[in-house]
């Protein structure tokens, strides 16, 4: 059996890892390691589909000129999963992934189109294997009802990976740019080359089909796309800091800490700003940082058990609320879409 270090580099794009790495190699992909996990022990057809997921850190020796912010980096983390399945399970597994991707992208506020990337000129595997793999992906998208003009369905000749055709999800951001993120690939090549097998109903060893799938592609790139899409103003449920409690006078410091503690207890990500600065300075600073909610407290608010709530955004009005009312409002605002 071939080891992961024997998986070939891509000739056109150059070596995957630096030529200066003489005694070790940084992991460029998660796929071979997942095959090694699959090969631990004997697998039966009853064990399939077997789904392995990893937030895997990978490295690619990208040319210096190709590096671009969070969009193209040399170290990145993939939301990487591999599904080992039988031939008769492929369509159902891909259809389930299509439905999952649809739900997640809509939760983030994106529209998208789906493309089928077909066999490239340089590839592994027979034409029969590629015919079958491409048709399975077509059938799965049709079963999910996504092979329509509404979803931008299109086939892209020559755009597949060297080992498998793939479905690609192209997101459209707020200003109309498209970004290719999610993908699922139907692969018969790597299981063959790395000798993965299972015992079928006939008692013989068979090759599983390996589905490579990712929703975000890499976390770094997807975060960059989100920042661009929302122009830094992330929805409250997604913002790293969902609220800041800022004081007008130092006499309100203890009350500000109490307000922050109650907000944290309600599940919000909160910071306090107790600096000896004018309140207008604090408001401007946190507005530029795109914090969704600013809770201003002074001596009066401390005495009355209230807060002055200032949502982010032009035209948003400050409103004085009891602490309990503010917590109830913010708790609903920061609830993730899948929990709403």
Among 34, 43, 59, 78, which one carries the catalytic annotation? 78
- Selecting among 59, 80, 213, 310, the annotated active-site residue is 80
- What lies within 8 Å, CB to CB, of 183 at 6+ separation is 166, 167, 168, 169, 212, 213, 214, 217
* 31 is known as an active-site residue: yes
E strands present in the chain: 50-59, 75-85, 111-117, 154-156, 166-172, 178-187, 198-199, 205-206, 209-214, 243-247, 270-273, 293-297, 306-311, 319-322
Known active-site residue 86? no
Catalytic, out of 2, 27, 39, 60: 60
Active site residue 60: yes
User: Position of tokens 């592609």?
Assistant: 217
Distance CA 182, CA 94 (A): 13
282 included as an active-site residue: no
Query: Pick the catalytic residue: 123, 212, 229, 286?
Result: 212
DSSP β-bridge partners for residue 178: 172
Give the sign of the dihedral formed by CA 264, CA 268, CA 269, CA 271: negative
CB half-sphere exposure, 6, CA atoms < 13 A: 7
Q: Which of helix, strand or coil describes residue 141?
A: helix
Q: Which of 34, 59, 82, 282 is catalytic?
A: 82
Rounded to whole angstroms, how far apart are CA atoms 140 and 137?
5
Burial class from Cβ neighbours inside 10 Å (0-12, 13-18, 19+) for residue 329 reads middle
Whether 166 is a known active-site residue: answer: yes
The whole-angstrom separation of Cα 47 and Cα 128 is 27
Catalogue the active-site residues. Answer: 31, 60, 78, 80, 82, 166, 212
């Amino acid at each position: 059996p071939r080891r992961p270090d024997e998986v070939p580099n891509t000739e056109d794009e150059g070596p995957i890892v630096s030529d200066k790495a003489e005694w070790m190699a940084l992991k460029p992909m998660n796929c071979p390691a997942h095959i090694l996990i699959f090969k631990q022990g004997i697998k039966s057809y009853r064990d399939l589909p077997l789904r392995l997921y990893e937030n895997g850190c990978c490295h690619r020796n990208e040319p210096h000129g190709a590096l671009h912010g969070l969009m193209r980096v040399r170290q990145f983390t993939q939301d990487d999963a591999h599904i080992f399945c039988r031939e008769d399970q492929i369509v159902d597994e891909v259809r389930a992934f299509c439905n999952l991707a649809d739900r997640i992208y809509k939760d983030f506020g994106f529209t998208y189109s789906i493309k089928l990337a077909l066999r490239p000129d340089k590839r592994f595997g027979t034409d029969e294997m590629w015919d079958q793999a491409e048709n399975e992906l077509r059938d799965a998208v049709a079963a999910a009802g996504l092979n329509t003009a509404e979803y931008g369905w299109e086939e892209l000749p020559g755009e597949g990976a060297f080992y498998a055709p793939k479905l690609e999800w192209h997101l459209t951001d707020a200003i109309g740019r498209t970004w290719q993120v999610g993908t699922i690939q139907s692969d018969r090549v790597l299981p063959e080359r790395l000798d993965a097998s299972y015992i079928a109903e006939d008692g013989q060893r068979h090759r599983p089909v390996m589905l490579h799938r990712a929703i975000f592609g890499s976390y770094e790139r997807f975060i960059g796309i989100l920042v661009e899409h929302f122009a830094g103003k992330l929805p409250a449920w997604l913002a790293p800091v969902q609220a800041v409690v800022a004081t007008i006078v130092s006499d309100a410091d203890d009350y500000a800490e109490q307000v922050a503690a109650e907000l944290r207890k309600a599940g919000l990500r909160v910071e306090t700003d107790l600096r000896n600065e004018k309140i207008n300075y604090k408001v401007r600073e946190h507005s530029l940082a795109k914090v969704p909610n600013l809770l201003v407290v002074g001596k009066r608010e401390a005495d009355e058990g209230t807060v002055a709530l200032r949502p982010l955004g032009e035209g948003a009005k400050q409103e004085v609320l009891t602490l309990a009312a503010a917590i109830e409002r913010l708790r609903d605002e920061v609830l993730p879409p899948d929990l709403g």
